[in-house]
Amino acid sequence: MQPSRRRFLASTFALSGTPLLARAQQLGLGAAALPPSVVQALETARIPLQSCAFVLQAQDSAAPQIAFNGAALMNPASVLKLVTTYCALRMLGPAYVWKTPVYAVGPVRAGVLQGDLAFVGSGDPHLMADNLWSIAGRLRDLGIRRIRGDVLIDRQAFDLPPHDPAAFDGDATAPYNVGPDPFLVNFGVMRLGFVPDAAAQQVRVTVEPPLAGFDLREAPRLTAAACGNWKDKLRADWKQPFAPRFAGGFAAACGPQTWNIAPEVSDNTYVQRLLGALFAQVGIEWKGQVRTAPLPADATELTVWDSPALAVLVRDINKYSNNVMAQQVFLTLALQAGAQRATWAGAGQAVAQWLSAHELDMPGLVLDNGCGLSRIARISANDLNALLRSAWDSPVMPEFVSSLPLAGEDGTLRRHFRDPDTAGRIHAKTGTLDGVLSLAGYAQTRAGRRYTFAALVNDPRAGGAWPALEAFVNGFMQAA
């Protein structure tokens, strides 16, 4: 055994003398399995040990090297996406695609669709504005130059209660609070760009995607102040999201910046403005409305849009922790299991049944919405570790592991673990909410030994637990 490895194990299993350790021993948490650096970091952050769970297991070992509070059910925040994405890759297959068919409800004569155009939503997690532009181009190539009727959206694939984007934390315009939709387009988000123009002494404001009728009522003033918290300084008024006002200033020192906003409007309002702009771009005249309605029986299929493969989409979900994409995938599992319409309960049941059938029973698992943006979601560190080990031995291992953020390189781990001993050697999912910090995934040491690990912290001071998580990972990465 290498000297560094011996020192790590000695410090791990020969702990004594701190108040947190004494308390943990009283609680039966097995604190002696935690490295002292982790215990000290938690003590510094004033986070009690019973609020944490840590599991570490070498992939060539039958038992964990560290199993601290591993059976406790805890809120994992976005680490829950590991369950959703792994089950989706297994249940749907990496090559699975979502299909969005487009129909004519009425004949096309002399370039005019005499009735309505209809889309049938299938829950595509990644139907973007440029995809709709391509669909509009296909319709033009089919000879359609005018749509006389409305655009119908069939949203029957999901059966969900009304979504309140402000319910979770009061921030209704935050993109992470967008709810699922069988016909989700562009994540329901518009991106505003702010570009300082020193020569013209003004701030140019751009919007993506193109939205018909978008009208900037008041642009911010260009200032010479320090950049600072530039969003607050804009003094944005979103009462009319497609006619915003910025009563404040924008500093030239900020350089170009972007702000993603989920406008507080009905599903159809956003789609109406988007389609209005895209149809005009490709040369299709349309003055109708967007309505939610079932596909009429006499509709004729015109074209079908295929999403990217699931193996591609899980990278966006896990690397950038996209909540609404994870929810779309989660609900699709209910449809895959045979449901006529997807519900939260149906998706949760489909996942639980699959896990049980593959020796991954998790009786305490609470998936809720499948993405971790939840106060009731629960899983144990032991179960996360078991899932990670199962995924490593599965046919979808390459797709699953490569979907996770890479330490020091990309996604939500781009700014973490940048030391040469860890950068590029850890694939792991992060999870962050008020009162929650979590990290779980895979690591390979310089000596070539591979590990699975899970760390969960549920405490009002969880935001201060990063040093403890870093000490946990760095400990075995540097010693093994």
Residue 267's pLDDT band (boundaries 50, 70, 90)?
confident
Cα(72)–Cα(62) distance, integer angstroms: 21
Instruction: Decide the pairing of beta strands 146-147 and 112-113.
Output: parallel
Q: Is a pLDDT exceeding 90 seen at residue 32?
A: no
Q: What's the mean pLDDT when you consider all of the chain?
A: 93
Facing residues of 207 across strands? 192
Q: Which domains, from first to last, does the chain contain?
A: 3-94+311-479 (3.40.710.10), 99-166+177-183+265-308 (3.50.80.20), 190-261 (no CATH)
Whether residue 48 has pLDDT greater than 50: yes
Cβ-based neighbour number of residue 116 at 10 Å: 21
* Burial tier of 41 (Cβ tally within 10 Å: 0-12, 13-18, 19+): buried
pLDDT tens sequence across 63-119: 999 999 999 999 999 999 999 999 999 999 999 999 999 999 999 999 999 999 999
Rounded to 5°, angle at Cα 54 from 390 and 479: 90
- Do 74 and 381 form a contact (C-beta atoms < 8 A)? yes
Distance between CA 58 and CA 443 in Å, rounded?
Answer: 9
Report, as an integer, the average pLDDT of 25-32.
46
Residue type, 247: A
Beta bridge partners of 406: 427
For residues 333 and 320, is the Cβ–Cβ distance under 8 A?
no
CB 189 within 8 A of CB 261: yes
Distance CA 77, CA 379 (A): 10
Higher pLDDT, 383 or 6: 383
| Residue 11 pLDDT | 39
pLDDT at position 46, please? Answer: 98
Average pLDDT over residues 373-393: 98
- Cα separation, 180 vs 343, in Å, equals 11
Residue 27 pLDDT grade (very low, low, confident, very high; cuts 50, 70, 90): very low
What average pLDDT does range 309-327 have in this prediction?
98
Q: How far apart are CA 256 and CA 29, in angstroms?
A: 50
pTM: 0.92
CB 437 within 8 A of CB 77: yes
* CA atoms of 50 and 68, how far apart (whole Å): 9
